[in-house]
Structure 1
């Protein structure tokens, strides 16, 4: 495999910049501990504002232009089955040299899945190389990788040939519903995309990804006394249970398509026929065309059960992340990143995954991207989340070398394949 590092026209400066990343290792660890202590759950606007301030302070030395983009309000179904307005935060956009011929889009998110009243709030050392804490891997650690890769890149003369842009969203963990249009718009202006979800603990990266959609099914019936007027009532819980069975039966209706009814609620007391019940469910799909099939099947289910006397059935939500298939340009980018890993002594492998992220959005907009370039870690979305701290310098070097190779024209075959 050809060495991308040795073929850099500014090899000595590049090598020195990469080596200096090691000197910032402890600072990276100290930063992730500090940031982990700031709760920035998706529904915590104060915490997201606090993270925004910390990030802008940390990235200020790069001299990038800053745009803070207010996201549109969204909708959600509350515990009463009512549609309510959800306030979204701001996307942080940082960019430099937007007129350059080569452009890279780097994306990530400031939110975590941990609410401000969640018991998991404090980072704890598990051993000398393993730090457990909210967001340490997903993805405050990833943002720190972006920062330090760019610091190294900007220390080299090759930086002048690349325009880079960073988008950090506050709603990725809830599906990027409000930030998706911004991701799509900015993806169309770039040549390659780099996203900083965590790699697996062994360093494996994600390749193809399934698509995903989140839905809420709400059933309304008629309340009645369970003893005196049972037959007058319309039991929303029973009606919903039949719908759930039909939804679950859609699993494997297309290859590798899965439906997961996950959260249900309904009723007020055992002696009352329940007049409302709801279910939140998720679908994962492998092929883009599966979305139309699934939506048609679900709409048929809704119509069938809504037609029964005394019941109202409504569906909310949708498929928000299309499947991420691997285009020729994406495969070439993956190969180039693997070559960068060889130069640095990092083994890079890729595996398909049922999970999804902003990489799905970028791919749907036509941007070849690799989306697990953050720290090595595991157990994300749980109180057991951890980061392997030695991966900070390791992954910052990897991204810095990707940028250097891109700047020197060694990834131009990716760009050509993208436009072919």
Structure 2
């Protein structure tokens, strides 16, 4: 067993303890107090590793936390990335706090993705412990990934921070220890608002222009843009409109959840949605389309494939595992790196399942396995 692995085995209790501390802090994306508390815990750990810390204002509650380690000059940095927010409301950590049952760690956000952050930090710690970290390293942690960076500058900040990176490793979890994500779909939330004309539905309905009727005509056409064989999905997820049964509705709105595999698909899909909304069944109505937020797809580029091949070699040598490249129907910040020219692998964090549910778990044993793999890989890529 190599020095890195031996060292991380000795750190098992500390890794669990830090995970427990993070999981037992409620940190939904909009809960500033919890976000700050988790950021403080992470900052303290980073500083103990000698990292220079920056907290960048993202224009709404929360921040982008950046930790940096200097390395050999004129080398591009390794980028580790992740998020500290969860989907669970305040009070969840009290209702079902962190606990360990056998090889499973339980608690809100343990798999998605607080244990992954711990893996990244201890991989760095192991490299420092055995004096093998030569390339500069940057760790970027955002606080509103679960909200797709809605109405914040976090995605733009991350795009700027990753520029010039050698490669990226996104610390999201994986379903199996053999799986690494090399491609993921991107997503958009799109609001489509129809404006009509109000009128009394009993006395003078002819003067009205029903926004709801116009929107109803558009919904099946929007849904028909779905093509699952190409990884495209358009979900009409939320609808609102009208204020009374006796008033012709002058406003109606649908919010779409859209998924796609490539940037080309995203552009084409948006163009189709805009074109469709300009076709009207109800005369004298107007429709506006607003992209509320988006997250870039992670495309399996030539550079990403090579990065995976390199990691696969390391895994076979270190853990005797044969890794498989998989795709993910979800979305993550790994797409930001690939879109900005930094090859990235996703799902390199803890092994587990049940994200966004009360059945969420992460495997204790995988923390040491994955931290060892990352540390060995970073060392070999010097």
- TM-score w.r.t. length of structure 1: 0.83
- Work out which of the residue numbers 311, 317, 323 in structure 1 matches 2:291: 317
Match of residue 36 from structure 1: 23
SS in 2 for 1:27: helix
* Alpha-carbon offset, residue 88 of structure 1: 4.0
SS in 2 for 1:157: coil
- TM-score w.r.t. length of structure 2: 0.90
Residues 1:96 and 2:73 are matched in the alignment: no
Residues 1:326 and 2:326 are matched in the alignment: no
Match of residue 115 from structure 2: 141
Instruction: Sort the Cα spacing of 1:115 and 1:273 in 2 relative to 1 into closer, same or farther, 3 A.
Output: farther
* Alpha-carbon offset, residue 29 of structure 1: 1.9
Unaligned ranges ≥5, structure 2: none
Counterparts of 1:232-381 in structure 2, within 5 Å, are 232-252=207-227, 255-305=230-280, 308-317=282-291, 320-342=294-316, 343-381=318-356
Match of residue 413 from structure 1: none
Counterparts of 1:395-414 in structure 2, within 5 Å, are 395-407=370-382
Instruction: Sort the Cα spacing of 1:121 and 1:34 in 2 relative to 1 into closer, same or farther, 3 A.
Output: farther
Residues 1:25 and 2:12 are matched in the alignment: yes
Q: How many residues align?
A: 378
Match of residue 76 from structure 1: none
Match of residue 126 from structure 2: 152
Structure-2 separation of matches of 1:149 and 1:253: 38
Structure-2 separation of matches of 1:296 and 1:121: 46
Structure-2 separation of matches of 1:370 and 1:89: 26
Q: Deviations along 1:266-325, whole A, 9 cap, x unmatched?
A: 3344444433332221222223222222121111123224x9545342222167333322
Instruction: Sort the Cα spacing of 1:129 and 1:401 in 2 relative to 1 into closer, same or farther, 3 A.
Output: same
Counterparts of 1:22-171 in structure 2, within 5 Å, are 22-72=9-59, 87-97=60-70, 99=73, 101-116=75-90, 122-123=96-97, 125=99, 127-159=101-133, 161-171=134-144
Whether the 8 Å CA contact 2:93–2:108 is kept in 1: the answer is no
- Moved segments of 4+, more than 6 Å: 117-120
* Alpha-carbon offset, residue 21 of structure 1: 0.7
CA RMSD of aligned residues (A): 2.5
Instruction: Sort the Cα spacing of 1:39 and 1:222 in 2 relative to 1 into closer, same or farther, 3 A.
Output: farther
Instruction: Sort the Cα spacing of 1:224 and 1:33 in 2 relative to 1 into closer, same or farther, 3 A.
Output: farther
* Alpha-carbon offset, residue 19 of structure 1: 0.9
* Alpha-carbon offset, residue 18 of structure 1: 2.3
- Work out which of the residue numbers 151, 176, 185 in structure 2 matches 1:210: 185
Unaligned ranges ≥5, structure 1: 1-11, 73-86, 408-420
Whether the 8 Å CA contact 1:100–1:163 is kept in 2: the answer is no
Instruction: Sort the Cα spacing of 1:312 and 1:135 in 2 relative to 1 into closer, same or farther, 3 A.
Output: same
* Alpha-carbon offset, residue 129 of structure 1: 2.0
Whether the 8 Å CA contact 2:4–2:376 is kept in 1: the answer is no
Structure-1 separation of matches of 2:158 and 2:228: 31
SS in 2 for 1:158: coil
Structure-2 separation of matches of 1:124 and 1:270: 49
* Alpha-carbon offset, residue 194 of structure 1: 0.8
Instruction: Sort the Cα spacing of 1:115 and 1:243 in 2 relative to 1 into closer, same or farther, 3 A.
Output: farther
Structure-1 separation of matches of 2:200 and 2:96: 48
